[in-house]
Amino acid sequence: MRHKKKSANVLGYCLISPWLIGFFVMFLIPMCISLYYSFTDYNLLSEPNFIGIQNYVRMFTDDPDFWQALKVTFVYVLILVPCRLAFALLVAMLLNAKRRGGGIYRTLYYIPSIIGGSIAVSIVWKQLFGNNGVAMSLLALAGIDQKVSFIGNPDTALGTLVLLGVWQFGSSMLIFLAALKQVPASIYESASLDGAGGLRKFFKITLPMISPTIFFNLILQIINGFRAFTEGYVVTNGGPMDSTLFYVLNLYRRAFTYFDMGYSSAMAWVLVLIIACFAGLVFKSQGAWVYYESKGGE
């Protein structure tokens, strides 16, 4: 009996070993190395030179690009996340009410999330809103004289990228749709008998019942928002006038344009802390608005 249990344990370790090896080689060890590099002066051409917290001091006191990238990313996240979640929930509710062809519509709405962050779609977006793009042509046909393209204007460039981000709502929509299907129809029927209208049902039944899913989607989209890179790199390359200089794009430039690996590693760890702080605030707030049925709504 003991021999069989030991054999089962060995088999279990063998089955999980590929994941463990991948975790250590591809994740844990690189993270530890990156943490060490963040305290060094390292440019790939020479040995890392330990300099303590100088990279972090320089970041907060002597790098205007850091603060610009941080501001742009904060604005992007604060606009993108609620807009994407609201649009995803709206489409999910429409699909939940629609009976015929629901699978086809779900597939069509999910496609942008699969290809939306790709290089190809970013190039298409650049052509749509560029100087000779479709948007400029439509404005010209309408008699509106637009001197500068949407991605060439510092006032509208970030909004164009937000629009591209909102377009990638499919994954959140599917998660919302799954949650909506779990809400018992009997609750809506009872509310109707009590004279509740559509808006009251939405705010008193739908939102509380799917609030754990909203919480999950919120955390996921905050993380994705802070990791934005492709849109800013391909569509605008951080311009014009650094109006779309995302944090990760700035980090990428420091690492692979200036080869300042020590400083870029420090930037990466600051980003980890920023995301952790935002996630912590959301977790802290869940007691006030997330309804867990197993806990009686607490």
Residue with tokens 């000779």: 132
Structure confidence at residue 11 as a pLDDT band (50, 70, 90): confident
Nearest Cα to Cα of residue 168 among 221, 205, 215: 221
pTM over 0.75: yes
User: Where do the domains of the chain lie, and which CATH numbers do they carry?
Assistant: 63-297 (1.10.3720.10)
Q: Which amino acid type is present at position 275?
A: I
Give me the mean pLDDT over the 120-147 stretch.
72
- Would you say 137 and 128 are in contact if contact means Cβ atoms under 8 Å apart? no
Run of H or E including 49:
strand 49-50
Percent of the chain with pLDDT over 90: 46
What confidence tens digit (pLDDT) does each residue in 17-52 have? 888 898 889 889 999 999 999 999 998 888 999 999
pLDDT at position 149 over 80: no
What is the pLDDT averaged over residues 233-243?
89
pLDDT at 5 over 90: no
Average pLDDT over residues 63-84: 96
CB atoms closer than 10 angstroms to residue 298: 8
pLDDT of the residue at 101 = 61
* Candidate from 35-44, 111-120, 279-288 with smallest mean pLDDT: 111-120
DSSP classification of residue 131: T
Is the peptide bond prior to 82 cis by the omega test (within 30 degrees of 0)?
no
| Closest to 116 in 3D by CA, of 166, 177, 174, 150 | 166
Band the pLDDT of 102: cuts 50, 70, 90. low
Q: Is residue 98 predicted with pLDDT exceeding 70?
A: no
